[in-house]
Amino acid sequence: MTSLNPVAASRAAQAEAALMAAKDLHHSFGQTVALAGATLSVTGGEILAIMGPSGSGKSTLLHCMAGIFRPDSGEVWFDGQRIDTLGDNERTELRRTKFGFVFQFGQLVPELTVADNIALPLLLNRTRRKAAYGGAGDWLPRLGLDNLGARRTGELSGGQAQRVALARALVAQPKVLFADEPTGSLDTLTGEMVMDLLVSLAREEGTTVVLVTHDPRVAAYADREVLVRDGQIIDYTDDRAADVSAAADRAADVSAEADR
């Protein structure tokens, strides 16, 4: 039996265990090509960082995987179901019940309080008001927001607002958290604090994370990093596996030469 090389074995294992997969995605905005055959899989519980420069298509990929955009062609699968073919209402329901979102600027409702914003996903899912606010209250101490439940989010610092956004994203216990440049508007120290919380809470909740960033320091928090280049995916893990395989082959060649 022919054994798989490390690159093929890595890809096969990822595909087998995938909670989410994007297959040969193409997407354009007018004449501008954003995705040109992007293929990617994410395993359950994995924290995946998607990297790339501005305009590389990394955010478009995230939006297609999250059901916000419908790709021009290709397939998006989640938990055994193809979701790019679902209707708008079905994809909205999926985003509300299975996915959580954190964006660069939080996108909180500034007129509402911290507790209101965190409870909002539960209320939209028809959770009773008392239970929704009880659930929101449980998140406040976990994020160092104990005394801020009644404060309007428009009065918060950037770091406080992003912690509220993180609580709102996780309060409904989503299977996947999509984070698009979650530290992009924060200073370095505050960004590190937010990433520490995001990763630790995702681990505690068993949440899969798909993280878009251009910052290598943020990507370093992930289990795996991929790069979007020219609308396609380059898998750093596979590159490393290929390097290991090549090094092993070179070592074997040297050993064989020495035995001659």
pLDDT of residue 154: 87
Helix H segments across the chain? 6-17, 58-65, 88-97, 114-124, 129-142, 158-170, 188-205, 216-219, 236-259
DSSP 3-state of 233: strand
Beta-carbon neighbour count of residue 125 at 10 Å?
13
Query: 212: left (phi > 0), else alpha (psi -120 to 50), else beta?
Result: beta
Separation of alpha carbons 44 and 166, rounded Å: 19
User: Smallest Cα–Cα separation from 133: which of 119, 153, 149?
Assistant: 119
Q: Which two tokens stand for residue 199?
A: 């990763």
Q: Edge-to-edge strands of the sheet including 232-235?
A: 99-103, 176-180, 208-213, 47-51, 224-229, 232-235
pLDDT by residue, tens only, the chain of 260 residues: 445 555 445 555 555 568 999 999 999 999 999 999 999 999 999 999 999 888 889 999 999 999 999 999 999 999 999 999 999 999 999 999 999 999 876 689 989 999 999 999 999 999 999 999 999 999 999 888 888 899 999 898 888 998 899 999 999 999 999 999 888 888 888 889 889 989 999 999 899 999 999 899 999 999 999 999 889 998 755 444 444 344 444 444 544 555 55
Please name the amino acid found at residue 148. Answer: L
Using CB atoms within 10 A of its CB, is residue 237 exposed (0-12), middle (13-18) or buried (19+)? middle
Q: Which two tokens stand for residue 102?
A: 């954190």
Instruction: Encode burial over 50-65: b for 16+ CB neighbours within 10 A, e otherwise.
Output: bbbeeebbbbbbbbbb
Separation of alpha carbons 238 and 244, rounded Å: 10
